A and B are shown apart, each in its own frame.
Chain A
Amino acid sequence: MTRNKRLVIFTVIAVVGIATLSIGNGCSQQYATRAISSDLASAATPATSTGSSNIDVIPGARTVSLVYSKQVLDQLSSCTGVALPSDKTTAMYEQKQGAVSMYGYVNTVTSPMMMAVTSIAGEVCNDLINQEAATGRRLFVGFDFMASALPNNAQLADSVSRMALSCWQRNETNLEREVLLDLVNSTVASNEALGGRKSALLICTAMLSSLDSLLN
């Protein structure tokens, strides 16, 4: 097995792990606020095929939903600032959008949906890195995408913060930052070919396919 293959497998496991961490029990930090946790609890009844969902309304509580199939690519490329998704990304989106919830009700999230979103997110991140390589760094300041070396932890942490402000609409927590840095450091070897690019791809894909990026 080549190192690249091992990396891909590990990346998938790691991303799914983060996704599971985020959505598996609905108890992660971002759902601790009163309004959203109430909404999640209130959205237990399955949606109907016409898109109306039997959600128990809690007065004063903001309804939360996720991106739906027709907007998932727009959402991910908008928050990252990818000006125009590439043909390859569009093709991936067309291939995977069928697995994404039609209306985005929180009670319609499935494992295939999260895998599909991860695939699309990976392509969006690839576009983002190509864009930053061509026009200058916005989210991955200090990263050398061609280098066979990892960015330092300060640079990695900075990119996590910038991604969080962009796509999570909040600052990341210390725990989240540590998890992501550990993920990069344990997945990409310090002298690995294209280590800069791979670490950016890993951070971006993990954060973009997490539930906070998908909230709508």
Chain B
Amino acid sequence: MIKIILPMLFLYSAAEAQMDMAFRRANAIALYEFLDTSGAIIKDTSSQGTPLDLTIADPSAVLRGSGYIDIQTRNLISSAGPATKIIDACKASGEMSIETWIENNEPAQLSVGEYPANTAQPNRIISLSSGLLKNNFSIGQFYDNAELYYSSINTSGNETMSKPGGSLNNPIMSTKNQIIVPSLETNSSPAVPSQRVIVTLSKDEVARLYLSDRDGNLSKAAQMATGFSKGTAAFFNNWYTDAKLTIGNVSTTITEVKNATGDFTTCTDAASIAKNPACAANSRYWKGKVRLVAIYCKTLSENDILGARSAAQITNKVIAVDPAVKVTDSLKKAQDIFQRLTGVKTPLYDPVLVAMEKKLSSNDPIGAAALATADSRFYNITVRDFASKMSNRAESITVPLNDFTATVVGAVRDEINAQRLLWDNLVYVADPTKASVPSSTVSDILRSNNHYESLDTQRIDLSKVLIPSTQKVYNGTKAVDMPTPAGLLTTRQWMSAHAIAGTNRRLVEFSFREFLCTPLEKVADSTGPDNVVGRDIDRFPGGSHTKFTTTCRACHTIMDGFRPAFGYFTFNSDYVMHSFTSPAVKTQEDEDKGLGMWKSEDAGATYVHGKLNKNATVFPGGRVTVDDNWVNDAVYGANLPYFNWKRMSGKGIQEFGKMLSESKQFPLCMASRVYTSVCKRAPASSEDALLAAASTEFVAKNYNLKFLFQKIVTSKECLGGN
């Protein structure tokens, strides 16, 4: 017995939130804990009303253990009569929550609509139905041909469940009242195989979904579903009063079974439906383990479900109004500074503004600004958008939060030297004990953006939950230490923007663009050496060598000189690949299939990605990249004083990042970006002196970005006035 119980405790202790079994017994209208290990009855252990026990039509087709039932083939596990106590209570309350812990034992492999055993999908895990087309609610499963399955919940009176759209990153949507529930991947075993699914439906017609990740951490799904257009009360009133509660299948009537296909004459009772293969077509049986089912006729709160982690959202201050507040120019100036830094207005009677006003009157503008940068909105709005713009190819702020942006936000909060952002082994993640977001290292951080996107869409306060961490990379099997971490340059977001496909030249171009504010055409040098230019660049484009020397070479001497710094990286199959950790394959096609990383077969280029040396026949005499040694060719003419480099060559991405961060343009670029962020326009040439002075102080303050924000926002150029 101990052997059985201990793993169960392990499985759920990590994920257990506020709710415990006593809460469930007191609050659920129906609760199934599967405590009995044998027999044909599953007891309702709720304390509410007359127990609604379930009967297993074929007990020989299930395995029962303490705390679970393993449904191994077609069966019918259903209440003997209508689930009146659920129907009545939910109609009365107008609210509902469904909680289930399930374990999908089948690899998702067969085609839609034909699984298992020619059973039309969706397969029903829980249903409150009186027929196939008469669902009060149900949770079903669609098998996909990939790694995940979909489930859906039908909340209307008479809807046919259809295959929903949606995706793992957009798991919940309102499509004819259906909610899409992504499952744990089944192609590789999750650390905690059971998945917890909780759906809540509130009176104001909003459905929420909570899911556990592969490590058992329960989190709120990013999206919510709305638009239950009939109104909550109306759709509960449409419920079928003769519906039965069923687990692992759908309760149906003989007439419907017969009418559906005309070939089910032997489907005369529950037992024969369960046993007779001819009844299978109208069965919706599901295979797997069910560890808990709880039906509530109330909307479980976030605090019920997530406990203390529910308090991590961005909140606004509720300030007592002082209608007698004196509106002065200095108070309005304080408000201006506050608003520019935090991105939001605060009432003029906010005590923070009064404190800022005092600082301003005592000639301490930086002190005044520091009071505003202590506000969480500074990080959640202003710094986030400042960083977002640098994180993607379109240079847009409308991208989801990602590891690049979160790392900048964390670094600003912790006043980390901004140079480290370009070369240190640093990335910021959310503390899973503080934020209810998917946090599996492989699934949610390295192979998807789920972790960060969920922080964003749940409006979680980044200033409270971000913690520094070291960088990891997925090696095709598991997460391992990043061999050559370089801050933002090796984040998943940066690589997904610039290392996907191509030849890794874009990484150089955008490094200059984002961190030195220098477009490639400005740094291009037509007099630069061409001995670094790759074999894939035609030296006689259109038959003209002159065109190469006057046009192509100018950019390629820069890009191709630096490009080896990124030679060990690519981004494919949704994750960063590093040649030290990924198995080698011989072609791009094999890499695209997820078999490994395409590595160059040129002599000595063991760890170089194949794309750096591809198209070798275009100009066979061009440079072959054999390692990550790079050369700085932006050192001639005007480029030298413009950048004021400290390094003329180097090895690897870290030294490349250090070179960028040591450039004279780095602090100037950061100053310019901060100015654009808080002063609401790009700086004019007449403001060069301000940027120069601010960047000098920025360097003197140990590259403290928070200080740079405080400095620039309080400038007269930004606030106006002479």
A residues whose Cβ falls under 8 Å from a Cβ of B:
35, 50-53, 55, 57, 59-65, 68-71, 74-75, 77-79, 81-84, 86-88, 90-91, 102-104, 131, 135, 138-139, 158, 161-162, 165-167, 169-171, 213, 216
B397 and A63 within 8 A (CB): no
Contacts A84-B313, A88-B204, A169-B335; A60 near B720 (Cβ below 8 A)? yes
Q: Which residues of A contact B224 (CB under 8 A)?
A: 87, 90-91
Q: Which residues of B contact A138 (CB under 8 A)?
A: 318-321
Give the interface segment out of B150-158, B429-437, B464-472, B675-683: B675-683
* 0/1 string, B363-390, CB within 8 A of A gives 1: 0000000000000010011000100010
Q: Which residues of B contact A83 (CB under 8 A)?
A: 315-318
Q: Which B residue's beta carbon lies closest to that of A135?
A: B318
Chain B nearest CB from A144 CB (Å) reads: 18
A52 and B676 within 8 A (CB): yes
Chain A nearest CB from B303 CB (Å) reads: 12
What are 23 pairs between A and B in contact, CB < 8 Å? A35-B721, A50-B395, A51-B397, A52-B681, A53-B681, A55-B681, A59-B686, A62-B718, A74-B380, A78-B345, A78-B346, A81-B316, A81-B347, A84-B316, A90-B224, A91-B224, A91-B226, A103-B397, A138-B319, A166-B348, A169-B345, A170-B348, A216-B680
Contacts A57-B684, A74-B381, A165-B348; A171 near B316 (Cβ below 8 A)? no
A35 and B720 within 8 A (CB): yes
* Complex alpha-carbon distance, A55 and B343, angstroms: 20
Chain B nearest CB from A88 CB (Å) reads: 5
* 0/1 string, B72-106, CB within 8 A of A gives 1: 00000000000000000000000000000000000
Q: Which residues of A contact B349 (CB under 8 A)?
A: 165-166
A87 and B208 within 8 A (CB): yes
Q: Which residues of B contact A71 (CB under 8 A)?
A: 343-344, 381, 385
Instruction: Check: B206 CB closer than 8 A to any chain A CB.
Output: yes
A81 and B319 within 8 A (CB): yes
Chain B nearest CB from A117 CB (Å) reads: 14
Rank and list the top 10 A-B pairs by shortest CB-CB distance, nearest first: A62-B720, A78-B344, A57-B684, A166-B347, A87-B206, A65-B680, A79-B345, A91-B226, A63-B680, A81-B318
* 0/1 string, B298-336, CB within 8 A of A gives 1: 000000000000000111111111010101000010011
Q: Which residues of A contact B343 (CB under 8 A)?
A: 71, 74-75, 216
How would you classify the secondary structure of chain A's contact residues: helix, strand, loop or mixed? Answer: loop
* Complex alpha-carbon distance, A64 and B718, angstroms: 10
* Complex alpha-carbon distance, A213 and B346, angstroms: 11
* Complex alpha-carbon distance, A102 and B395, angstroms: 12
A57 and B681 within 8 A (CB): yes
Q: Which residues of B contact A35 (CB under 8 A)?
A: 720-721
Query: Which residues of B (109-142) have their CB < 8 Å from a CB of A?
Result: none
A51 and B347 within 8 A (CB): no
* Complex alpha-carbon distance, A138 and B317, angstroms: 13
* Complex alpha-carbon distance, A88 and B398, angstroms: 22
Q: Which B residue's beta carbon lies closest to that of A64?
A: B680
Query: Which residues of B (339-366) have their CB < 8 Å from a CB of A?
Result: 339, 343-349
A162 and B327 within 8 A (CB): no
* Complex alpha-carbon distance, A44 and B318, angstroms: 37
* Complex alpha-carbon distance, A51 and B394, angstroms: 10
> Residue A165 contacts which of B313, B316, B321, B681 (CB distance < 8 angstroms)?
B321
Chain B nearest CB from A199 CB (Å) reads: 18
Q: Which residues of B contact A87 (CB under 8 A)?
A: 202, 204, 206, 208, 224, 226
A78 and B377 within 8 A (CB): yes
Q: Which B residue's beta carbon lies closest to that of A52?
A: B682
Contacts A50-B395, A57-B681, A166-B347; A88 near B315 (Cβ below 8 A)? no
Q: Which A residue's beta carbon lies closest to that of B721?
A: A60
B680 and A88 within 8 A (CB): no
* Complex alpha-carbon distance, A103 and B679, angstroms: 12
* Complex alpha-carbon distance, A13 and B420, angstroms: 54
Q: Which A residue's beta carbon lies closest to that of B223?
A: A94
Chain B nearest CB from A83 CB (Å) reads: 5
* Complex alpha-carbon distance, A102 and B327, angstroms: 31
A74 and B313 within 8 A (CB): no
A70 and B385 within 8 A (CB): yes
Number of interface residues of B (CB under 8 A): 55
* Complex alpha-carbon distance, A153 and B425, angstroms: 63
* Complex alpha-carbon distance, A7 and B377, angstroms: 36
Chain B nearest CB from A65 CB (Å) reads: 4
Taking A53-B681, A63-B679, A81-B316 as given, write out 9 further A-B residue pairs in contact, using a Cβ cutoff of 8 Å, ordered by the A residue number: A57-B681, A74-B344, A87-B202, A88-B204, A90-B459, A165-B325, A165-B327, A165-B349, A167-B347
* Complex alpha-carbon distance, A68 and B677, angstroms: 12
Q: Which A residue's beta carbon lies closest to that of B204?
A: A88
A216 and B313 within 8 A (CB): no
Instruction: Check: B699 CB closer than 8 A to any chain A CB.
Output: no
B719 and A62 within 8 A (CB): yes
Q: Which B residue's beta carbon lies closest to that of A97?
A: B398
A139 and B321 within 8 A (CB): yes
Q: Which residues of B contact A86 (CB under 8 A)?
A: 204
Q: Which residues of B contact A216 (CB under 8 A)?
A: 339, 343, 345, 680
Q: Which residues of B contact A165 (CB under 8 A)?
A: 321, 323, 325, 327, 347-349
A88 and B682 within 8 A (CB): no
* Complex alpha-carbon distance, A179 and B565, angstroms: 65
A91 and B206 within 8 A (CB): yes
Chain A nearest CB from B397 CB (Å) reads: 6
Q: Which residues of A contact B318 (CB under 8 A)?
A: 81, 83, 131, 135, 138
Contacts A69-B398, A81-B319, A87-B202; A169 near B348 (Cβ below 8 A)? yes
Q: Which residues of B contact A74 (CB under 8 A)?
A: 314, 316, 343-344, 377, 380-381
* Complex alpha-carbon distance, A158 and B682, angstroms: 40
* Complex alpha-carbon distance, A179 and B377, angstroms: 34
Q: Which residues of A contact B325 (CB under 8 A)?
A: 165
* Complex alpha-carbon distance, A158 and B37, angstroms: 68
A88 and B344 within 8 A (CB): no
Q: Which residues of B contact A64 (CB under 8 A)?
A: 680
Instruction: Check: B266 CB closer than 8 A to any chain A CB.
Output: no
Instruction: Check: B189 CB closer than 8 A to any chain A CB.
Output: no
Which of A63, A64, A70, A169 has the most B CB atoms < 10 Å from its CB?
Answer: A169
> Residue A158 contacts which of B315, B323, B335, B716 (CB distance < 8 angstroms)?
B323
Q: Which residues of A contact B682 (CB under 8 A)?
A: 52-53
* Complex alpha-carbon distance, A104 and B204, angstroms: 31
Chain A nearest CB from B227 CB (Å) reads: 8
* Complex alpha-carbon distance, A139 and B323, angstroms: 10
* 0/1 string, B130-174, CB within 8 A of A gives 1: 000000000000000000000000000000000000000000000
Chain B nearest CB from A124 CB (Å) reads: 10
Chain A nearest CB from B23 CB (Å) reads: 22
Chain B nearest CB from A80 CB (Å) reads: 8
Instruction: Check: B722 CB closer than 8 A to any chain A CB.
Output: yes
A171 and B397 within 8 A (CB): no
* Complex alpha-carbon distance, A61 and B327, angstroms: 21
* Complex alpha-carbon distance, A77 and B345, angstroms: 9
Instruction: Check: B396 CB closer than 8 A to any chain A CB.
Output: yes
Q: Which residues of A contact B317 (CB under 8 A)?
A: 78, 81, 83
Q: Which B residue's beta carbon lies closest to that of A69?
A: B398
* Complex alpha-carbon distance, A170 and B345, angstroms: 12
Q: Which residues of A contact B396 (CB under 8 A)?
A: 50-51, 102
> Residue B323 contacts which of A65, A79, A162, A167 (CB distance < 8 angstroms)?
A162
Chain A nearest CB from B339 CB (Å) reads: 6
Q: Which residues of A contact B319 (CB under 8 A)?
A: 81, 138
Q: Which A residue's beta carbon lies closest to that of B344?
A: A78
Q: Which residues of A contact B389 (CB under 8 A)?
A: 51
A79 and B321 within 8 A (CB): no
* 0/1 string, B237-258, CB within 8 A of A gives 1: 0000000000000000000000
B345 and A167 within 8 A (CB): yes
Chain A nearest CB from B344 CB (Å) reads: 4
Which of A53, A91, A213 has the most B CB atoms < 10 Å from its CB?
Answer: A91
> Residue B681 contacts which of A60, A63, A170 (CB distance < 8 angstroms)?
A63
* Complex alpha-carbon distance, A59 and B686, angstroms: 8
